Structure 1
Amino acid sequence: MKVVFLDAATLPTTLRFQNPAVEYSAYSSTAQAAVIDRIRDATVVITNKVRLGAEELRAARQLRLVAVAAAGTDNIDQDTAAQLGIRVANVPDYGSDSVAEHVIATLFALRRHIVTYASAALDGRWTASEHFCWNGPRIRDVGGSLFGVVGRGRIGEAAARLARGLGMEVFFAQTPGKPCRGDELPLDQLLARADVLTLHVPLTPDTRGMIGKESLARMKRDAVIINTGRGALVDAPALVSALHEGLIAGAAIDVLDVEPPPADHPLLAGGVPNLLVTPHVAWASENAQARLASKLEQLVEKEL
């Protein structure tokens, strides 16, 4: 059985197949123009972000399974796959705890201004202080805050569990078209009340740009927003403007609308106050990587 991983460098943990019937080829990355040649004879294709459209899928006449090394499957033409009898499988729950911990870690960093205070200890501000400590930006506890979660999936629930453990009051955004549960609020109300807003919804036409100028204007001035979902959920220029104008207190962004981002991306510009950007690593704890590798190996071995 021929197994091809098109962008294996996106998973630092190496896949290992014990069965000698598996002929495994791992490519660090694959340009779109090279996809057809690399998957033409494959029985299983593993991909993280490389797109498999109708043309690529039809060219792979031996293909039985597309295993997506991620929770989302938006890079696969699923209608064509279904027509051709190709199964598409993702790995939905390998990194829920890792992403949830990243949410809480960045929340602490924002509310306690960890980066600013760590810099002050080294750049002379502390040694020049007249007192035993150096007082800069306002430090706020997380306990007692209202933690707003948009998206009631595995990751949203995991983040909510950690937030409750820290003494935070948790509310979810109401799911459109469904009755409002006791721990849910309509999104507009959640925006107005949340001290922390964390995003965990898939990218769809309805969610694209859901946090834009109007949404940010509804939020409290001392609120922070965290996005570990999809970059395009947030209107980047609107977020930059809101931070410069002090409409919200801070933002932690782990995902951008284009990845890798261009050098002139608005969220990578210097001087944006209270903005913490990380390079799409919320999922990437060693534990999560090991779980993802194991689940991918299991998906492939089921095809034997």
Structure 2
Amino acid sequence: MATVVCLERDSLGAQFQLPPLSAPHEWRNYPTTLPEQIVVRLRDADIAVVNKIILNEKILAQLPKLKLIAVSATGFNNIDVSAANRMGIQVCNIQNYAGIGVAEHIFMLILALRRNLIKYRQKVQTNYWQQCGQFCFTDFPIDNLHGQTLGIIGAGDLGQHVAKLAQAFGMKIQFAAREGQPADGHKVEFQNVLQTSDILVVSCPLNEQTRNLIAREQFAQMKSNALLINAARGGIVNEQALLDALTEQQIAGAGFDVSDNEPPKEDSPLMQAAQLDNCILTPHIAWAATESRETLIAQLIENIQGFLDGHPRHIITI
């Protein structure tokens, strides 16, 4: 009988039920898990269910019984997949479950920034509308998305959903080639995308190649009216460079749903940026639509059931 241990049950939402597995098993849930509790809780586990918990080579070496790490998310940068593979531990993740929801969240951020929604709402709350003496007031710039150029870094499921929404707004779309790679028929050279995009959306995974992909040098190449949107992973954008770019008006604004550390420290550069008028920060909720979470949980159970049945799904190899 397999022992399944879920170390971060609260990350799935307590209101969502986990469908039962058909294979004989023991399932243990822990709402949250501290780093020093990981090995103790997984010592007799055959399958570990994790989200953001770090499982590095040192930890995995202490878990000789572990056979599967089921990541309840798409991103797996917190797992040393190479070490797990060497130890005979398979790793699976959730795929293509929240692209629509995250893309909608991205456009919520874009529209709020381009049309200065927050500033106008704040003015209305202070009774400024009544005081201005006009049927409307236009104190802050308002720009249409139609005709603007949207650059997308990452052409996977999320990037494709973002592109579809951008098409509906009448935007010009360009996918960025990997940094250092030449343009081809489908992608534009990376520096060219930086220099020509009115709005730049990050939709790629975090790995060694993409960490600090956008830092001071890249901000210096962007248009002064550009927006930067990141609902992919923290760490892809250097947060200190972002704060500097916003305060020095190298770019017009930023919308973020992710942080390098989550939750971020109160004095982190990203939290300082979030206090500025031209930056919106949401708490990693772009993925969390009810429909997306239901799909995630169903796929998580399918991944575990498939492994137990001898038909592994969504296995990651490096």
TM over 0.5: yes
Which runs of structure 2 are paired with 1:41-120 in the superposition (5 Å)? 41-120=44-123
Partner letter of residue 225 of structure 1?
Answer: L
Q: Deviations over 1:183-241 (max 9, x none)?
A: 42211111111010001122233322222222112111111010112211112222222
1:274 maps to a residue whose letter is: N
Question: Could you say which residue in structure 2 is the equivalent of 1:165?
Answer: 168
Cα distance, 1:189–1:202 mapped onto 2, change above 3 Å: same
- 2:282 maps to 278
The residue type equivalent to 2:11 in the other structure is T
CA distance in 2, matches of 1:46, 1:26: 9
Which shows bigger deviation, 173-182 or 290-299? 173-182
1:236 aligns with 2:242: no
Q: 1:124-157 CA deviation, whole Å, 9 max, x = no partner?
A: 2111111011222100011111010011111111
Question: 1:74-223 maps to which residues of 2 (within 5 A)?
Answer: 74-176=77-179, 179-223=182-226
Q: How far is the alpha carbon of 1:84 from its aligned partner?
A: 2.4
Tell me if structure 2 keeps the 8 A contact 1:240–1:272.
no
Corresponding residue of 2:3: 2
CA deviations over 1:63-103 (Å, ceiling 9, x no partner): 22110111122222223322222111011211111111111
Match runs of 1:4-23 below 5 Å: 4-12=5-13, 13-19=16-22, 21-23=24-26
What displacement does 1:178 show? 5.3
TM-score when normalising by structure 2:
0.90
Say how many residue pairs are matched: 304
Q: Which residue of 2 aligns with 1:31?
A: 34
CA contact (8 A) 2:174 2:187 kept: yes
Q: Distance in 2 between matches of 1:49 and 1:232?
A: 14
Q: Deviations over 1:237-272 (max 9, x none)?
A: 222222222221110011111111111112212642
Which amino acid in structure 2 is aligned with residue 267 of structure 1? L
- For 1:76 and 1:210, the matched residues in 2 are separated by 20
Q: Distance in 2 between matches of 1:89 and 1:101?
A: 26
Counterpart contact for 2:180–2:190, Cα < 8 Å: no
Secondary structure class of the residue paired with 2:123: helix
User: Secondary structure in 2 aligned to 1:147?
Assistant: strand
Tell me the residue number matched to 1:288: 292
Contact kept? 1:170, 1:183, Cα under 8 Å: no
2:220 partner letter: A
> What's the CA shift for 1:47?
0.3
Displacement of 1:274: 0.5
Deviates more, 1:134-143 or 1:229-238: 229-238
SS at match of 1:226: strand
Please say which of residues 17-26 and 160-169 is displaced more in the overlay: 17-26
Counterpart Cα distance in 1 of 2:90 and 2:214: 34
Paired residue type of 2:295: R
**Structure 1 residues 61 and 213 mapped into 2: Cα distance closer, same or farther (>3 Å)?**
closer
User: If the length of structure 1 is used for normalisation, what is the TM-score?
Assistant: 0.94
Task: Point out where structure 1 has 5 or more consecutive residues left out of the alignment.
Answer: none
Contact 1:146–1:193 (8 Å) recurs in 2: yes
Greater shift, 74-83 or 161-170, is seen at: 74-83
Percent of aligned positions with the same letter in both sequences?
34
On the 8 A contact 2:23/2:305 being kept in 1, the answer is: no
Separation in 1 of the partners of 2:285 and 2:71? 18
RMSD: 1.7
User: Residues 261-304 of structure 1: CA distance to partner in whole angstroms, max 9, x if unpaired?
Assistant: 11111221264231000111111111111111000011111214
CA distance in 2, matches of 1:127, 1:243: 32
